[in-house]
């Protein structure tokens, strides 16, 4: 069983790995940019290579053999087990192509994985062939989903260019995400921190440049509520930002009494230092339940996937 094999730090052969990536890429390539899904469904935020926490998450969220899952991206980087995360999710996707859905996050691209550690992890555990196969697989991932016709789920957030949902279908997703525009914003945008968000802002001010990310925008309450109104939606479900409790309900829409934005983050004790909880959203009969979980211990990995022997040489030679 792949799950327990990976859990024991086992590897898949390079051939099996490439075969799995290829088979999943064929499936995801045929999915639309915007998925239309119905509950019951479990929605999952960032995982960031935290394989041992993903195992816990699948316990909490429901058995993937019988549970519909929507993952909002950021499977890779930061944690040391991104390949294991992807192989397990891909195996589940292959077994349940119409029950498990994988969206693209801002880390599922060449630029981020080269800057952070996923590219190095591929080189260390396999080679660049596997890395390039993963990059093509990432290019094929859908960008967003609508649940029950009422909730827009995506990785990052809204865009000043996005007026109606059908525009998402017009994006050419089979490429490295650009540094600006609709495609970029869906993966990168953040809701404005409420303390900074003046509810009475004029519509022009409802998007401000995102100086924290260095690209995309912050979208304010007025931007979110106008967009939801115009499209007959209740809320935006997104990931992309670490939360101490694993989730955050952003400003309540005065008309509906429902949060305009819900952030969900599924990597507990993020980077081994944040001490945050992870959470998943469970949708059933139009009701929303949030389930939190704590981190699980994982094998210790040295920086850049060195082994202990290589790592200790500098200390020995200094003596």
The catalytic residues are 107
What are 43's strand-pairing partners? 70, 281
Rounded to an integer, what distance in angstroms lies between the CA atom of residue 251 and that of residue 261? 7
Instruction: Say if residues 183 and 173 touch (Cβ distance below 8 Å).
Output: yes
Return the residue matching tokens 């912050």.
218
Cα→Cα distances 252→202, 208, 210, 222, 257, Å: 18, 20, 22, 11, 6
Instruction: Say if residues 221 and 192 touch (Cβ distance below 8 Å).
Output: yes
Exposure of 309 in the CB half-sphere (CA atoms within 13 A): 0
Rounded to an integer, what distance in angstroms lies between the CA atom of residue 9 and that of residue 2? 11
Q: What are phi and psi of 252, to 5 degrees?
A: -70, 135
Rounded to an integer, what distance in angstroms lies between the CA atom of residue 132 and that of residue 139? 11
Cα→Cα distances 45→61, 65, 133, Å: 12, 20, 23
């Amino acid at each position: 069983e792949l799950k327990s094999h990976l859990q024991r730090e086992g590897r898949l052969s390079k051939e099996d790995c490439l075969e799995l990536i290829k088979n999943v890429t064929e499936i995801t390539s045929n999915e639309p940019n915007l998925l239309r899904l119905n509950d019951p469904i479990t929605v999952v935020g960032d995982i960031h290579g935290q394989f041992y926490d993903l195992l816990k998450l699948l316990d909490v969220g429901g058995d993937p053999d019988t549970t519909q899952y929507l993952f909002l991206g950021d499977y890779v980087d930061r944690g040391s087990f991104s390949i294991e995360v992807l192989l397990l999710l891909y195996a589940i996707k292959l077994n349940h192509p119409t029950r498990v859905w994988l969206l693209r996050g801002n880390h599922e691209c060449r630029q981020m994985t080269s800057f952070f550690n996923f590219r190095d992890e591929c080189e260390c555990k396999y080679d660049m062939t596997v890395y390039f196969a993963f990059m093509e697989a990432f290019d094929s991932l859908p960008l967003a989903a609508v649940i029950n016709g009422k909730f827009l789920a995506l990785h990052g957030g809204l865009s000043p260019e996005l007026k109606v949902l059908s525009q998402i279908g017009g994006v050419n997703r089979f490429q490295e995400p650009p540094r600006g525009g609709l495609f970029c914003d869906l993966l990168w945008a953040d809701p404005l921190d409420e303390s900074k968000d003046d509810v009475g802002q004029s519509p022009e001010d409802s998007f401000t440049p995102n100086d924290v990310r260095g690209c995309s925008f912050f979208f304010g309450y007025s931007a979110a509520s106008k967009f939801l109104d115009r499209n007959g939606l209740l809320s935006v479900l997104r990931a992309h930002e670490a939360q101490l409790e694993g989730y955050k309900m952003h400003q309540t829409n005065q008309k509906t009494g429902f949060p305009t934005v819900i952030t969900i983050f599924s990597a507990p004790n993020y980077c081994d230092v944040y001490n945050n909880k992870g959470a998943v959203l469970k949708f059933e009969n139009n009701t929303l339940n949030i389930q939190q979980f704590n981190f699980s211990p994982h094998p210790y990995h040295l920086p850049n996937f060195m082994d202990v022997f290589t790592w200790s040489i500098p200390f020995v030679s200094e003596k």
